[in-house]
Structure 1
Amino acid sequence: MSAASKVPVRVGGRELTLSNLDKVLYPEFGFTKAEVIDYYSRIAPVLLPHLAGRPLTVKRYPNGVDGMSFFEKNAPEHTPGWVRRARLPVPGSTKDRETIDFAVLDDLPGLVYYANLAALELHVPQWRVDDDGRALPPDTLVFDLDPGPPATIVECCAVALRLREVLADDGLEARPKTSGSKGMQLYAAWDCREEPSAYAKRLAQVLAKEHPGQVVSVMAKKLRPGKVFIDWSQNNPAKTTVAPYSLRARARPTVSTPLLWEEVESCGSPEDLVFTSSDVLARVEEHGDLFHEA
C-alpha cells in the first residue's frame, strides 16, 4: 500500500489512519469506502445508542460487495487499545475457541475504525454487557420476517401488523425496521418475563396456525415459498441481528431502516421500503431516530 493511499485523521480525540478511500465497495452504485465512512460518521448519533454495550459481529467486504466476505467476531489483533472489548464465552465455537474478544462500539472513533476495515454490516445480539464486560439478561425481543419468494416485504408488512396486535395484547410495543435486504424485523423492549426464544416461538406458532396460507414458523425451505417465515430463533443469545442503520451488502448501499407504522400499513410495492444511505440520512434529519424507545 502506498503512503499516498493512507490518510491520517483525528476523530473524537483519537488518531486514525484511513486507507484506500477511493476504493469502490458498491460497484453498481459507484459507492466508495470514503462514502461508507462518511455515512457511518454522519449516522453515528442515532446508530451508536443501538450498538452501545452490545458485542459486535461485523461482516467485512475488503474488495467490495461483489468480492469475498467474512464474518468477524474477534476484534482484529491490530485493533487500537482504546476500542472497548468484552471477553465472552462462545460454547461450540467453529474455531475451537472458548472465549472471543468482542469489540463493543460506544463511540465514533471505534465506528470509523471498523468502517475503514470495510465492515459494511454491523450485527449485534439482543443483550448487552455491563461495565465489567459480563453478559446481562436480554433487553430486546426480535422477530425476523423473511419472505419466501414470490412473497416480498409487502407480505411481511401484513404479518408485521398482525404481530404488532399480538404483542400489544401482551403489553409490548413493537418497532418495525427493514432488514435492508428483502425482509423486515420487529423489535420490542423485553422485560425477561420468560425465556425470549420460547415466547417468540409461541407467538410465531400462533400466527402460523391462524394464517397457514401466509405464515410459517419453521425453517424448512420446502414450506416457505410464498409465505413469511417468522424467525423467532434470533432471540437465542448466541445469535445476532443486523443493527438499525447498518448498511447491507446489496447492489445498492441499502440500510436496515427504522420505519413509521404508517409506512408498514401503506406498503404496496417492495420498492416502497428500499432506502439507501442518503435516504436514511434525510429520514433522520426529518424524523430523528424512529427506533428510539419511548
Structure 2
Amino acid sequence: MTPITEVEGRRLSLSNLDKVLYPATGTTKGEVLHYYAATASGVLLPQLRDRPVSFLRYPDGPDGQLFFTKNPPPGTPSWVHRTPVPHRESEPSEQVVVQDLASLMWAANLVVEFHTPQWRAETPAVADRLVFDLDPGAPATVVECCRVALWLRERLADDGLDAYGKTSGSKGLHLLVPITPTDSAAVSAYAKGLAVRAERELADLVVHRMRRALRPGKVFVDFSQNAAAKTTATPYTLRARAEPSVSAPVTWTEIEQCRSPGELVFLAGDMAGRLDRHGDLLAPLNEPGRGRPIPDTA
C-alpha cells in the first residue's frame, strides 16, 4: 500500500520508501525524501523558487535508467506551479516551478536531480547570476579545480563581482556570481572572455574548449551554462552518483586548503552538520541588491 502523507495541506502519495537507491551506502528512497524534507528544504527552496526546473530522473538509482526532462512529468498535480517559457526548437513551452515544500516533496518522490537556469521565470533569458562549471579531466581532480576557482575569484573581484563556490556533486566545482539582471547572451560573452583569459594565463592547467581530446590533466572552464537554454545542478540537490552526493556549498577556506579530492565530497548525511556550522553559504545569491553589473564586453 502506498503511504499517503499531507504536506502543507496537499496530499501526496510517497512510493517505495524502502527501495535502495544508492547500493554503495544502502541509502533508501525514504532517506532521500527525509534529506529533502528535513535537511535541505529550507535552503534548497530559495534556490528553486521562481526558476523553471529541469529534472534528471533516476527512479531505479544511479545504476538504472537516467533520463532528462523539462516537460512537466505525466501525472503532475494541478496545484504544482507551471510557467510558460520561450518556445525553442525541441524544447517545451511550459515547465514546472517548485515554489513550496509540497511541490518539492512531490518532485523528490520522482527521484530527481534538480537543474535550474541562471534566470527567473518572470524574466526569461535575463540572468541574475553567472556560473562557471569547473570540470577536471583525469588525472586532474577537484584539487586543480580549486586552483582555477581561486584565480577566477580574483579576476571577478577585479570587476567588482563576488563569487560563491559549491561542489558539483560529481567531480568538479561550480562558481556562482550574483549579478544585476543582464541579457544571457551578454553574460555568456563575459564568461567566455574570462575562460579564454584563464586558458591563456594558466595554459598548463586550463582549457576553455569542450573537445575531450584537449582535457586530460586540465580543468575545463565551462562558461556555456550561462546560455539561456542551459541549466546547472541546483545547490543542495542530490546527484545520481554511486553515493548520495550533494551539490554542496563550500567556503573559500575549504577551497584554498583542499589538497585531496575526498575533502570536497559531501553526502546527504553530512549536510545537517554543515548547515549547523556554516548556515546557508549561498543565501547572498538571493539577497536583494547583492548583484553587481558585469563589465561591458561590447
Task: Please say if residues 73 and 100 of structure 1, whose CA atoms lie closer than 8 Å, have aligned partners that are also in contact.
Answer: no
Provide, for residues 82-141 of structure 1, a one-character-per-residue CA deviation record: whole Å limited to 9, x for no partner: 110012234121xxx5x432100011000100111111x1100000012xxx52611010
Q: Distance in 1 between matches of 2:208 and 2:60?
A: 36
AA of the residue aligned to 1:63: D
Paired residue for 1:287?
Answer: 278
Q: Distance in 1 between matches of 2:194 and 2:125?
A: 24
Q: Distance in 1 between matches of 2:125 and 2:10?
A: 29
Deviation at 1:193, TM superposition (A): 5.8
AA of the residue aligned to 2:259: G
Specify which of 153, 158, 178 is matched with residue 142 of structure 2: 153
Does residue 246 (structure 1) correspond to residue 237 (structure 2)? The answer is yes
Paired residue for 1:14?
Answer: 10
Q: Distance in 1 between matches of 2:222 and 2:5?
A: 42
Does residue 108 (structure 1) correspond to residue 101 (structure 2)? The answer is yes
Gap runs ≥5 in structure 2? 288-298
Measured at CA, do residues 112 and 192 of structure 1 come closer, stay the same or move farther in structure 2, by a change above 3 Å?
Answer: closer
Q: Distance in 2 between matches of 1:143 and 1:206?
A: 14
What TM-score does the superposition give when structure 2 sets the normalisation length?
Answer: 0.92
AA of the residue aligned to 2:27: F
AA of the residue aligned to 1:141: L
Paired residue for 1:137?
Answer: 126
Does residue 181 (structure 1) correspond to residue 135 (structure 2)? The answer is no
Paired residue for 1:123?
Answer: 115
Provide, for residues 145-201 of structure 1, a one-character-per-residue CA deviation record: whole Å limited to 9, x for no partner: 000100000000000000000000000000000000000000101224671100000
Q: Distance in 1 between matches of 2:9 and 2:168?
A: 33
Provide, for residues 37-79 of structure 1, a one-character-per-residue CA deviation record: whole Å limited to 9, x for no partner: 1101121001100000110001111111110110111112311
Does residue 233 (structure 1) correspond to residue 217 (structure 2)? The answer is no
AA of the residue aligned to 2:154: E
Task: Please say if residues 26 and 253 of structure 1, whose CA atoms lie closer than 8 Å, have aligned partners that are also in contact.
Answer: yes
Q: Which runs of 4+ in 1 moved over 6 A?
A: none
Paired residue for 2:213?
Answer: 222
Task: Please say if residues 37 and 112 of structure 1, whose CA atoms lie closer than 8 Å, have aligned partners that are also in contact.
Answer: yes
Paired residue for 2:25?
Answer: 29
What TM-score does the superposition give when structure 1 sets the normalisation length?
Answer: 0.93
Paired residue for 2:157?
Answer: 168
Q: Which moved more, 1:164-173 or 1:58-67?
A: 58-67
Gap runs ≥5 in structure 1? none
Measured at CA, do residues 101 and 192 of structure 1 come closer, stay the same or move farther in structure 2, by a change above 3 Å?
Answer: closer
Paired residue for 2:77?
Answer: 80
Q: Distance in 1 between matches of 2:85 and 2:76?
A: 17
Does residue 213 (structure 1) correspond to residue 204 (structure 2)? The answer is yes
SS of alignment partner, residue 127 of structure 2: coil
AA of the residue aligned to 1:66: D
Aligned residues, how many? 282
Q: Distance in 1 between matches of 2:182 and 2:20?
A: 47
Paired residue for 2:56?
Answer: 59
Q: Distance in 1 between matches of 2:125 and 2:89?
A: 20
Task: Please say if residues 86 and 124 of structure 2, whose CA atoms lie closer than 8 Å, have aligned partners that are also in contact.
Answer: no
SS of alignment partner, residue 85 of structure 2: strand
Task: Please say if residues 124 and 228 of structure 2, whose CA atoms lie closer than 8 Å, have aligned partners that are also in contact.
Answer: no
Q: Which moved more, 1:153-162 or 1:20-29?
A: 20-29
Specify which of 26, 36, 46 is matched with residue 49 of structure 1: 46
Q: Distance in 2 between matches of 1:102 and 1:186?
A: 25
AA of the residue aligned to 1:110: S
Q: Distance in 1 between matches of 2:93 and 2:63?
A: 28
Task: Please say if residues 57 and 122 of structure 1, whose CA atoms lie closer than 8 Å, have aligned partners that are also in contact.
Answer: yes
AA of the residue aligned to 1:34: G
Q: Distance in 2 between matches of 1:179 and 1:157?
A: 12
AA of the residue aligned to 1:86: T
Deviation at 1:17, TM superposition (A): 0.9
Task: Give the percent of matched residue pairs that are identical in Structure 1 and Structure 2.
Answer: 52
Q: Distance in 2 between matches of 1:122 and 1:265?
A: 28
Q: Distance in 1 between matches of 2:35 and 2:182?
A: 38
Task: Please say if residues 258 and 264 of structure 2, whose CA atoms lie closer than 8 Å, have aligned partners that are also in contact.
Answer: yes
